[in-house]
Amino acid sequence: MEETQGKTTVSPEVLTTIVRLSALGVSGVSGLAPVSGGVNRLFKRGAGDGVRIETEENTVYVDLHLILQEEVNIREVSRNVQQNVARAIQEMVGMDIGYVNIHIEDINYGDGEA
């Protein structure tokens, strides 16, 4: 059987999309908070959307700025987001996780059962 030579590259935008969808899929997460100031080192487009990603070698470093729903356990939701994001990156692109830092920016009160 012949082996094909070559390599696969994954753009930062793809990583950002995976992280965003993985975080939003966790119960208790209301949305992503815009990040003011600072510059995402890899690309400017994602600087304000609540996700910051850096890669080094085969390792991904993630900072997520979240808005949570009211009356949730912040520690539990944060842990679930970390696990969900790490699992998605590892399974979908085969990269290692350096860290997934969670920054709770706000709580979404008063939306009811949207």
pLDDT score at 48: 54
Q: Are 94 and 10 in contact (CB under 8 A)?
A: no
3 or 30: whose pLDDT is higher?
30
Burial of 62 by CB count in 10 Å (0-12 exposed, 13-18 middle, 19+ buried)?
buried
Q: What is the pLDDT of residue 43?
A: 46
Task: Say what the pLDDT of residue 93 is.
Answer: 95
Q: In this predicted model, what pLDDT tens digit does every residue of 15-66 receive, in sequence order?
A: 999 999 999 999 999 999 987 654 444 444 444 589 999 999 999 999 999 9
What confidence tens digit (pLDDT) does each residue in 76-111 have? 999 999 999 999 999 999 999 999 999 999 999 975
pLDDT band at 112 (very low <50, low <70, confident <90, very high): low
Domain boundaries, the chain: 12-108
**In the predicted model, what is the mean pLDDT of residues 7-13?**
86
Indicate the helix (H) or strand (E) that contains 39: none
Assign domain 12-108 one CATH number from 3.40.718.10, 3.30.70.1350, 3.60.20.10, 3.40.50.720.
3.30.70.1350
